[in-house]
Structure 1
Amino acid sequence: MEALQELASQLGDRLITAPESVAPYAVDSSRARPEGQALALVLAESTADVSAALGWADRHGVRVSVRGAGTGLTGGAMAYDGGLIVSLERMNRVLEVIPEDRLAVVQPGVITAELDSLVREQGLFFPPDPASARICTVGGNIATNAGGLRCVAHGVTSDAVAALEVVLADGRIMRTGARARKNVVGYDLTRLFIGSEGTLGVVTEATVRLKPVPAGTPRTFRASFPTIESAGAAVAEIVNGGFQPEVLELMDALSVEIIESFHQSGLVVPRGAMLVGQTVGERAAEHAERITARCLELGADDTEVSDTDALLEARRLSNPALTARGLKISCDIGVPISRLAEMFTGIERISAEHGLAVSSVAHAGDGNLHSTVESPDTEAGIAAADAVIDDITRLALALGGTISGEHGIGSVKHHELPWQLDAVALDVQRAIKTALDPNGTLTPGRAV
């Protein structure tokens, strides 16, 4: 506590020690639970605050967890016993918008959808579009290299970041990248920090790339299929066809049923699965009609095209709907588009073998699946659901995929790392971690 007074003298009322005030910041949206009670919470308002907190923790050997909006699904922001929590939620300002360069400079606590809404006033948009965009932060997107609904057309967060300001584990402040479109000076440290889940440094400012809003009225479309396999096969046809959508999502029948029971939107539960997507540009209506016509040729039961976002809004409700149903045992594997149908067939087989229902929603256009297991909220039920997730993850790897497409590793998936990374790759990653955090105080035991 004497050492803590040193930090209090620097931060004042931005350092919180009351357990009841600290507790809400000790968890994220995953099923993970804190290993004990955190020592204190820093409600950082500036880069200087973050620097002071990390430097103090490094000197005193105190483990640090970093938190944005707490929407993470892998336990990456869970507090450590006797640790320090650094919250970035108060660092929520858009510092600058530069329309002529299609750039914005933001603090990490800016809500993703709010940034997108702000720059649309100038005819631009922020490409990353996680399903949780209305509540997640740009800093959290950077920490996990989040993707989202528009991935199929615009890539992931790393494709939209030009430069960063980062506080290292010992409190030093550095800048990476540049505002220029092309920059090949030194190692690409910007991309090193993107997706590092707060283990190498804490992002306190980001210069992000924007794109012009497409002309015309967007069109959303739906195609319901008799089987999830046929929907998966249709995804490959659409992605490789001549009418590339900006969004292409998949929901299986169980997911649609759960969403409708959570919030009735008029969706008819399909026999197998439902594809939902959006086309943009001046020929959006024509392209949506062409895509749905092709879906009918590929076996869809029925289709529709709309000029509203109602179908996509239903897709965005999947996470809160699943949470309300008590489903938190999930994964976010990715597979090559050509293996999607095979992956879905395998998930159905694994579900039957374990006798547990599995719901799947997916950013189908880039092969990123989110499968969630229905199970009792008991120790035995969670263990059984985890076994299902492990089997699904191993299948994804066997099909040339990955254990995480966008949610990251955190603590929940840490045991899966050796399944994908060989010993040399793990050694190199951990060497990088040690080089930047030799005392192991910044988000230790997670991500790598």
Structure 2
Amino acid sequence: MTDLAATDLTPLAAELTGSLTTDPDILATHSLDESEYRPEGQALCLVRASCVADVVATMRFAHARGIPVVPQGARSGLSGAACAVDGGILLSVRSMDRILGLDEENKTVTVEPGIINQDLKDALRPHGLAYPPDPGSVAMCTIGGNIATNAGGMCCVKYGVTREYVREITVVLADGTVTRLGHRTVKGVAGLDLVSLFTGSEGTLGVIVEATLKLVPLGAAPLTALATFPDVRTATETVAAYMATGAAPSLLEMMDGMTIGLINEIADFGMDSSVGAVLIMQSDAVTAADDIAAFSETARDHGAVDVAFADTPEESEMLVAARRSAQPGNEHYARNHGGGQLIDDVCVPRSALADFCSGVDAIREETGVTIAIVAHAGDGNVHPSVFYDHSDPASVAAATAAFDRIMALGLSLGGTITGEHGVGTLKAGWLAEELDEGNRRLHRDIKKAVDPTGILNPGKMLSHL
């Protein structure tokens, strides 16, 4: 651990175009992300980088002194990857938020890492272009953070995750070296696919300072259907059956009955809290009307209580807004019931989705722990939220055990411990459970090759390998 009192930050501060602060209140604020399990340390300072040169200066300073560096964007992550470590520098690139170039002919955009996902979408819309990755935190998360976690979202079922849209990135390595990875061309196989390696690396391999992203034409307003079900299993069986037909909805989301009740406590979305689950389906294809009809038929054949349709774009937006309100609804509930919420992020094959959700139901019944379920159902990515009372050790222990059982259940069904939220500190121990020894060794060797002194985001994703 770095001796905080003995570290002279003057040389670093003098090199920065941005700012450096050691103010305890500011450090405390920036030492956390949105995760529940966040054993944050005492940071040495916060650097707010305003340009690539600031990132380079920070990494060179840290590398020469063996000081840990925690890269940060909007700190909207849910796994603790952006939390401070003892004696470390918090390196924020949030202020680096410009669009550096738009190539309409080749349908790419080059951006700095701090730009907000929704702001990018809004800037592209007048040009008839779209950037599809659509995390639930779209209004606050940054593109750099999305790349660092390989973020997904509600449109992944058709459009895929962040990795599929990253053509080229510029990265500052642990020693301050600036390198450009990838290709701006549609095709390119010269060398190893290092862009994919760095995408999802959660700040453990380098600091992303620029990205060129693939765009798609802006689609027409989607058509939307809402199907209600007596229970979660019926809804998830409907998902598997519908997707098995080769359907390609642009969105297929599920909320269980408890989640519907929680969002109804914070806003009036007109949803019936008495149902067991709902599916929200959208299609933005030219065959949207036929897609909606096929979904409706499948839902009714598999026991849907009712299927309704959004008659206007505004009604469609309200249904999507209801789904986006799941986490605010969970947070509202948690604040009034002891303050604790562990958000799981298990992804399973769609064919195993019903068994996974039934398994979560069994965990809830056996433990007595309160668990609400939402899912990007079309791609098998489920977010059970486990609630508990911070002040009650027994409640904390029960919730932690339930959380772990949910991850073990996902692995037993051929799934993964994280579909989009990342590993961070929350699941670092479980990553070692998912990977075999050969895979773990590759991770260790790559980390050592790229960051030999181990200063980039230590104690996070790779710490248990």
Compute the TM-score of the two structures, normalised by the length of structure 1. 0.97
1:407-426 to 2 correspondences below 5 Å: 407-426=421-440
Deviates most, 9-18 or 92-101: 9-18
The aligned residue for residue 236 of structure 1 is: 240
How far off is 1:50 after superposition? 0.7
Q: How far apart in 2 are the matches of 1:267 and 1:121?
A: 33
Q: Counterparts of 1:134-173 in structure 2 under 5 Å?
A: 134-173=139-178
Give the counterpart letter for 2:295 in structure 1. Answer: I
1:287 Cα deviation after fit: 1.7
Higher mean C-alpha deviation, range 344-353 or range 278-287: 278-287
Q: How much has 1:352 moved relative to structure 2?
A: 0.6
Is 1:336 matched up with 2:344?
no
Give the deviation of 1:243 after TM superposition. 3.8
Asked if the contact 1:222/1:304 (under 8 Å) is kept, the reply is yes
Distance 2:99 2:438 in 1: 41
Q: Distance in 1 between matches of 2:305 and 2:7?
A: 69
Secondary structure of 1:79 counterpart: coil
Could you tell me which residue of structure 1 aligns to residue 416 of structure 2? 402
Paired with 1:319 and 1:227, the residues of 2 have a C-alpha distance of: 21
- 1:358 and 2:371 matched: yes
Q: Which amino acid aligns with 2:461?
A: A
CA distance, structure 2, for counterparts of residue 142 and residue 168 of structure 1: 16
Per the TM alignment, residue 382 of structure 1 is displaced from its structure 2 partner at its CA by 2.2
Q: Distance in 2 between matches of 1:234 and 1:336?
A: 14
| Aligned partner letter, 1:28 | D
Q: Equivalent residue for 2:195?
A: 190
Which of 310, 328, 332 pairs up with 1:324?
A: 332
Evaluate the alpha carbon distance shift between residue 160 and residue 270 of structure 1 in structure 2; reply closer, same or farther with a 3 A threshold: farther
Q: Partner of 1:359: helix, strand, or coil?
A: strand
For 2:452, the aligned partner's letter is P
The residue number in structure 2 matching 1:73 is 78
Contact 1:289 1:305 survives alignment (8 Å): no
Change beyond 3 A, Cα 1:246–1:12: closer
In structure 2, give the amino acid aligned to 1:10.
E
Match of 1:368 among 360, 381, 404: 381
Could you tell me how far 1:294 is from its partner in structure 2?
1.9
Shift of 1:297: 1.5
In 2, the alpha carbon distance for the partners of 1:270 and 1:388 equals 25
User: Which stretch of structure 1 is more off in the superposition, 203-212 or 413-422?
Assistant: 413-422
Instruction: Name whichever of 330-339 and 5-14 sits farther off.
Output: 5-14
| 2:319 equivalent among 292, 311, 328 | 311
Unaligned stretches of 5+ in structure 1? Answer: none
Contact in 1 for aligned 2:18/2:49 (Cα 8 Å): no
Amino acid at match of 1:232: T
Letter paired with 2:331: T
Once the two structures are TM-superposed, the CA of residue 331 in structure 1 deviates from its matched residue by: 0.9
Is residue 68 of structure 2 the alignment partner of residue 63 of structure 1? Answer: yes
Q: How do 1:104-143 residues align onto structure 2 when only pairs under 5 Å count?
A: 104-143=109-148
Structure 1 counterpart SS, 2:424: coil
1:14 to 10, 19, 34: 19
Q: Which amino acid aligns with 1:431?
A: D
Q: How large is the RMSD of aligned CA atoms in angstroms?
A: 1.3
Equivalent residue letter for 2:333: R
Query: 3-state SS of the aligned residue for 2:346?
Result: coil
- Aligned pairs, number: 447
Letter paired with 1:369: V
Give the 5 Å matches for 1:380-399: 380-399=394-413
User: Aligned residues: percent identity?
Assistant: 42
The 10-residue stretch of structure 1 (238-247 or 202-211) with the greater mean CA deviation from structure 2: 238-247
Q: CA deviation at 1:212?
A: 0.8
- Which of residues 73, 86, 90 is equivalent to 1:85? 90
What SS class does the counterpart of residue 258 from structure 2 fall into?
helix
Does the CA contact (< 8 Å) of 2:346 and 2:407 recur in 1? yes
